[in-house]
Structure 1
């Protein structure tokens, strides 16, 4: 169980500089839609959880509220900032870069902003990636495109060399845009900075289309990802419904967390079977998936199966396992296995089958952000700038129960956010699809 001490965010020093945001804050009135900087956003959102802790209201664990402060720690005229994007592509990268540059430049008056190319490699001299100087004019239209202006890569680099680079360029604020592995790298960088006694703020902005970062409501890119996945489900349903004994099989992203599969299936409501990493399943036997698909075809003449890439990995145990540059185990291809086994099953039973297989993964990753994610990216970038200017460090910005908050990086990477098989989201999937509670 998390405790109140887990929510403490590191500060680089006292805030003594008048903030350029002060005039805006001076006319702001208290309402239910903003949280004063002296308040907290409580972690527990149900009464029973709070009561179980057995502590007073002031002792309940809560997040530092995000937003601008009247006093800040950094003098903007003497501040240099750096931005890096890491990990796989994700809708919204460019939106975040643009919003960071515009907020730093126009709201705070920061004159020098550097972009590091191709992830953490951009800090390391031997990789030969030139540093970019980011200006409002350069980034003014990048949000219209997918991908990232700065490029990206997977894998960690030596934090000692990274901090050497930050020192050489005189950077006092580093914005790290990435997922779980990227945040672990940011923590290592922050720890190296602390060991040298330097005043450099490190703040993360949560990027992962899998939505698997813990203690935030949602990471940017997720809304766009599952919206795009719904189009694959629409196509699979059209193909299946237009052919005798038609089966549409769609594989979506989700290594450890099945959020894309769940939300896309609910948004389109055409899926009959949803398979996610959090819920194991069997293929064979009278209660297995293959028998369930056969029964569905006999009753309705078509079926749509949506599978997350990390589902059913126990069925692929004989596949050789290697790791990618980030140290993640390379998954066996559950989509291809399902296609093979479904075809074999119906060939053995003598039933004609029309199966169409769709894998939209790369399309989902590379598109521009949809309007919801564009707004979310901009707001995350704004609160990240407010946080760094105020001297907070070793934290990630996010939203908890609808409120923007500061989350300590050690807490954010403590565990992975996954679909709860006992939660209301999975219950909605079971209600929508009509599939059995388990394939055992």
Structure 2
């Protein structure tokens, strides 16, 4: 019996922990293991690697997609038929797709096609996204570590700002990923648990009002002398238009966003005449494995292991979910939801987790367990050691 695993969409610092969970659990079950290089884009080109005899332990502490990811939607019957040719050729009986909203749509299409064809294929979605916007799960593997990275970076940058504001930069702006939901930008406020964080947080859930925003910046400067701002890339004007729309779409059909930090900084400079600095962590926030959350790493591995257990028991057409049972002590259980319910859906930051320019105690209660603990990678020559598959560069 043979397994095919693949990674898809924007990466995280713990997606490879899920890969390890899937592949190690499959090995324990006596299954032959294949991985798709660069997701279904690679599978369509028959770029498939047999990893049954590979050493995989290092995946648990390696960021990004060790086997390569992709941003491809299944839009044609030709592509679907080609995938089933590959499944048949390699005698694949279990397919695990590790991704977010769009990836679950792909997994759902393959599950439905398998039923239609009477093809013996079990399809399970393995969740991941730093955006934390998959519905029907309490949270997503990848979010806790990205939130920890953002919270730490904002704390450190704000301390820098606090040191220099008297005759230098008065405003610091960090642009944070998050197209539709503000989960990650909200993490910029988490540092207040330890005394310092973002003074203003701009979320996609709150329509951007330029006048109110500038008044808030001015009030903060007058009160404390400096202002630290976190802005989600997905903030919109009241009419629904993205503040940072770049005018074109990516391969998933999403509007390409970028530069909102500089847009916000420009407003502050022109209207308030304040010296402003902008930082864009970009890839760093999603692949910052050196500061990953222990909770996140362990849960990422467990959703992978759970996916295999479900598939070998005959389950198909579902995504693994995390159900929180309690905060103190923190306890979760692993459940499932139909892929059709998750595909292309978005979970927004609840109203009770934020107000106009900041986050609430409810948000702190929710996110604190997700950033707890550390599992550091091995270090050599003063630097982390990561697992690298050279085959990823040969597509």
Common fold, TM-score beyond 0.5? yes
Structure 2: distance between partners of 1:428 and 1:280: 11
**Are residue 233 (structure 1) and residue 154 (structure 2) matched?**
yes
CA-CA distance at 1:257 after TM superposition: 0.6
Give the one of 386, 389, 393 matched to 2:312.
389
- The TM-score with structure 2 as length reference comes to 0.81
1:101 maps to which residue?
23
Give a deviation string over 1:270-304, Cα, whole Å, max 9, x none: 211111101112112xxx11122112111210111
Structure 1: distance between partners of 2:275 and 2:246: 31
**1:189-208 maps to which residues of 2 (within 5 A)?**
189-208=110-129
Structure 1: distance between partners of 2:245 and 2:55: 46
- The TM-score with structure 1 as length reference comes to 0.73
**1:112-131 maps to which residues of 2 (within 5 A)?**
112-125=32-45, 130-131=47-48
CA-CA distance at 1:305 after TM superposition: 0.8
Give a deviation string over 1:157-212, Cα, whole Å, max 9, x none: 42221122111110000010000000101111111111110110000011110000
Question: Which entry has the higher C-alpha Rg, 1 or 2?
Answer: 1
Give the one of 248, 256, 263 matched to 2:187.
263
Structure 1: distance between partners of 2:208 and 2:269: 18
CA contact (8 A) 2:202 2:235 kept: yes
1:303 maps to which residue?
227
User: Is there any run of 5+ residues in structure 2 with no aligned partner, and where?
Assistant: 325-331, 362-395
Does the C-alpha gap of structure 1 residues 143 and 319 become closer, same or farther in structure 2, counting only changes over 3 Å?
Answer: closer
Identify the range of structure 1 (410-419 vs 263-272) with the bigger mean alpha-carbon deviation. 263-272
CA contact (8 A) 2:244 2:258 kept: no
CA-CA distance at 1:315 after TM superposition: 6.4
CA-CA distance at 1:319 after TM superposition: 5.2
Give the one of 337, 343, 359 matched to 1:407.
337
CA contact (8 A) 2:130 2:146 kept: yes
- SS of match in other structure, 1:172: strand
Give the one of 236, 240, 248 matched to 1:312.
236
CA contact (8 A) 1:105 1:136 kept: no
CA-CA distance at 1:429 after TM superposition: 3.7
- Give the root-mean-square deviation of aligned CA atoms: 2.1
Give a deviation string over 1:329-356, Cα, whole Å, max 9, x none: 1125321110111111123xxxxx3322
Structure 2: distance between partners of 1:136 and 1:226: 35
**Are residue 164 (structure 1) and residue 85 (structure 2) matched?**
yes
- SS of match in other structure, 2:210: coil
Structure 1: distance between partners of 2:246 and 2:26: 47
Does the C-alpha gap of structure 1 residues 428 and 289 become closer, same or farther in structure 2, counting only changes over 3 Å?
Answer: closer
Structure 1: distance between partners of 2:112 and 2:242: 39
CA contact (8 A) 2:200 2:357 kept: no
Give the one of 171, 174, 182 matched to 1:247.
171
CA-CA distance at 1:427 after TM superposition: 8.9
Structure 2: distance between partners of 1:315 and 1:187: 30
